[in-house]
Amino acid sequence: MKYNFDTVHKRFNKGCKKWNELADNGVKEDEDIIPFSVADMEFVTAPEIVEALKYELDHNIMGYANPTREYLETVCQWMKKRHDWDTKPEWILPAHGVIDAFFEAVKIYTQEGEGVMLMTPVYYPMYHAVTNNNRVLVDCSLILKSSSYEIDFEDFEKKAADENTKLLILCSPHNPCGRVWTREELEKIGEICLKHHVLVVSDEIHFDLVMPGYKHIVFASLSDEIANNCIICTAPSKTFNLAGLQTSNIFIPNPELREKYLNALKRSNPNPKCNILGYSACEAAYKHCEQWLEEAISVIDTNRKLVVDFLSKEFPQIKVIELEATYLLWMDWRGMRIDGKELERINHEEAKLFFDEGYVFGAQGDGFERWNLACPTRYVKEALERMKETYKKYVG
């Protein structure tokens, strides 16, 4: 490996969300905790990004910023190279985060009382985007078949056909279910949504983190018609662990939808601001860090294999859902016959392991845990030892 995926910087009391949440749970700085929660990586930043940021600090002024032409073209080149998606710089609108973007989209393209579809269980802020804005949650439950989730298209179409349904927030790849939707599935979603005039906001933030053997397809790349009926939310933040720099790229190919979005943004803030360091980091990442990404994926995949092998041998009651993309392994612990809250207690207090609890992703997530695998492999090995030690008394 060219890059370092072993060094970890301590982040306790450093304004780090993941560790702050642990502290809120009573964890002390000197406790031997392993966090596998919040979706950022325990990997140090790629050196090319660090160099670019240093250069910026030495040679620029931290004033108001807009993306440069070169930045926008670099983003488009990444989409072509990694995803075979032809884009135009003018399609890109800035956002501090993908969550900001799908919250805005719900407000801009739907009215209070109208229906927004989610394919559940799903990334929990998507529920908030619907209910906090007084829209109606149209719940399209995914079906767990063996170790993978499927879409119930009959139910999906029935719900899309309801006159009140106006928008779908698609999570592609899917967090927490780990699916990379196939071309056939995406085309079917696209056709149904076109037929019933449902706009698609496709959150593709995990699109670069695809496991070997799978291929992500950008929703807008399916056809011009589908491109005209969607908004694609992307960011370098998951891929290169840059969430703290608050830089996302929202693609709106359809000029009318784009204008509507831009006008709404201007109404709420006539002088939108960008993060100058975020742009620099994203540009450096997309230009120079493809190898870093490949290596990060291979570490995540190694970690995945370790967990899968261990669980099948030691705790076959825990079912691991196929990880096709993201670094967030979704595990069904219901076979352990331990209540969700008690599971949380055992993991925190006895095993000193912090996963994300499945119930935060919706009712279907109860009894599940989400394991963030973007960390040094030694963390995963240590966690497996702790699981073995802790749970042997709970299983017969």
Ligand X SMILES: Cc1ncc(COP(=O)(O)O)c(C=O)c1O
- Site residues (vs ligand X, CB under 6 A): 39, 97-99, 123, 171, 175, 203, 205, 235, 237, 243, 248
Nearest distance from residue 205's CB to ligand X, in Å? 4
Closest approach, Cβ 126 to ligand X, in A, equals 8
Q: In angstroms, give the least distance from the CB of 395 to ligand X.
A: 31
285 strand-pairing partners: none
Return the amino acid letter for 230: C
* CB nearer ligand X, residue 201 or residue 383: 201
Q: Which residue is nearest to ligand X (CB)?
A: 97
Which is closer to ligand X, CB of 39 or CB of 299? 39
CA–CA distance, 207 with 345 (Å, rounded to integer):
33
H or E, element range at 380: helix 377-391
CB 255 within 8 A of CB 238: no
Nearest approach in angstroms of CB 348 to ligand X is 21
Q: How far is the CB of 4 from ligand X (least distance, A)?
A: 24
Which C-beta is closer to ligand X: that of 140 or that of 171?
171
- Shortest distance in whole angstroms from residue 208 CB to ligand X: 13
Smallest distance, Å, CB 169 to ligand X? 9
The least distance separating ligand X from the CB of residue 375, rounded to whole angstroms, comes to 15
C-beta of 67: minimal distance to ligand X in Å? Answer: 16
Burial of 66: CB neighbours in 10 Å, binned 0-12, 13-18, 19+: exposed
Return the number of the residue (135 or 370) whose C-beta is nearest ligand X.
370
Contact indicator for 174, 189 with CB cutoff of 8 Å: no
Q: Tell me which DSSP letter residue 162 carries.
A: S
Under DSSP, the state recorded for 321 is P
Cα 86 to Cα 197, 202, 326, 381, distances in angstroms: 24, 17, 23, 41
For ligand X, the closer of residues 281 and 387 by Cβ is 281
- In the complex with ligand X, the residue whose CB is nearer, 329 or 384, is 329
**CB-based contact 95:236 (threshold 8 Å):** no
* DSSP track, 189-249: HHHHHHHTT-EEEEE-TTTT-B-TT-----GGGS-HHHHTTEEEEE-STTTTT-GGG--EE
Is 199 or 351 the residue whose CB approaches ligand X more closely? 199
Residue carrying the six token digits 């109404």: 267
Q: CA 69, 297, 34, 368 torsion: positive or negative?
A: positive
For residue 156, with 0-12 CB atoms within 10 Å meaning exposed, 13-18 middle and 19 or more buried, which class applies? buried
Amino acid 381 reads K
If the CB atoms of residues 311 and 365 are measured against ligand X, the closer one turns out to be 365
How many residues in the chain? 396
Nearest to 101 by CA among 304, 236, 286, 261: 261
Nearer to ligand X, 39 or 92 (CB): 39
Hunting for tokens 């135009």 — which residue is that? 88
